[in-house]
């Protein structure tokens, strides 16, 4: 069977607002860390919240390092 081709318009290929995405990522990481202070008793939630926040911050740091070293353009 032949695969169908997706038809997309040129405006769907434009890059999004990268600075807003970075700020949003940082805000979400901070909110996840603030969620540790709650009325829960178990610490499994704490590990998940900290792990996800650390992963988001790691993504932000890798992106920053790649842009700083010229390996990724900020266009």
Position 1 pLDDT exceeds 60: no
User: Which comes out higher in pLDDT, residue 38 or 21?
Assistant: 21
Alpha-carbon span 29 to 51, nearest angstrom: 10
Per-domain residue ranges of the chain: 18-67
pTM assigned to the model: 0.74
71 confidence band (pLDDT: 50, 70, 90): confident
């Amino acid at each position: 069977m032949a695969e169908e081709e997706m038809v997309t318009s040129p405006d769907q290929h434009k890059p999004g607002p990268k600075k807003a995405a970075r700020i949003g990522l940082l805000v979400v990481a901070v909110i996840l860390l603030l969620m540790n202070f709650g009325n829960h008793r178990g610490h499994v939630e704490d590990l998940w919240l900290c792990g996800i926040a650390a992963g988001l911050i790691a993504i932000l740091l890798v992106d920053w390092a790649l842009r700083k070293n010229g390996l990724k353009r900020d266009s």
